[in-house]
Structure 1
Amino acid sequence: MPNGIEYLLCEKGQCWEFTGKLDKDGYPRIKVFGKSYRLNRVVLAHKLKREIQPGYLACHSCDNPACLNPDHLWEGTNRQNIIDAISKGRVVAPAQFFNQQGSKNRSAKLTESMVVEIRELYKQGSSTKELAERFKVSRKAIQGAIFGRYWSHVDGAIAQNMKSGSRNPSSKLTENQVIEIRSLYHQGYSGKLLAKTYGVSDTLIYSILNRKVWTHV
């Protein structure tokens, strides 16, 4: 068990069942510095010796939400969790379910390549509002794509506490460089030359010049 956390557990078969208060979905929770966490996520992260990936769940092989046995917990996407439930006969899904992931879903307004682009633009400073307007979807859809709540099958989801612009450790530019790029462009430097000079893509340079990204600079 994670150090510094006390559990009230009782054995029920092989499950380690939490006997304290559960949330509305039947999961045990804990508060740390005023923030609430599901205990199954805490236990799984301790088991994995890392944070659970953005957009992924702490799933139960035992199908018991109150169970905190690390051996019963596994990291998976919402889709994988649903497929697991279907395979066990707990959920009946329509036949077309297995063909509805991502852009295969007829109601999807984004594609996998768009999701990759959205995440990159967000890392470079675009706001969720700007991205929603650009891609003609809701801010909720943009946030879901960025943080992996949706499109979790596309690698590269961003942790929700990750900052945009130069505060993002994966950002390739700084605010001063963005200012330089715009200034040099007005002095006659081409977008292609600027992209080569700063080691970024032509697309990013033109997005900066057109103020589609780094709009806070």
Structure 2
Amino acid sequence: MKRASLNTPNDWLSWAEDRSIPEPNSGCHLWLCAVRGKKGRGRRAADPRPMACVGGRSGSAFRLLWEGVHGPIPEGMVLCHTCDNSLCINLAHGFLGTQKENMQDCAKKKRQWLQSASSFEVPSAKFTPELLEYVRAVYTPRHPEFGSKALAKKLGMSRNAISMAINGHTYNRTGGAQ
């Protein structure tokens, strides 16, 4: 792809079109170039975020595209996404809102949970209270059948998920959020 001069909204739209592919069922325009994985609470380990570098600025491709077409995002506002597909850069799926509105939208779509919610109520939770109780009861360090490696393989989880649950880093002893 040649380096483009991005002076008008149409230049930006053409730039995005060259770097994405439309997904006909959802209307998303899926980014085909560089992505960055991001780790954190409530986020998959490799939740890809479209990245771009344009005119000396680097960052979220969706945000750069939005600002190239609509202008700067006003102070106190954030760029929200209606489809929640992290690879989507379709401007029709974006809107401006406050951080509070974005978090309310998150909660409404069950993408995020309240801080006081039980860890077991998190949509991406790997453990049920019963499974956690079982793992903590049978866990024996370096045991061929009940060590973290063996339990992870048996339960289809990562060794890290097992270790963090056993040590109370992910689920505290009462099952509430840490």
TM-score tier (shorter) = 0.3 to 0.5
What TM-score does the superposition give when structure 1 sets the normalisation length?
0.38
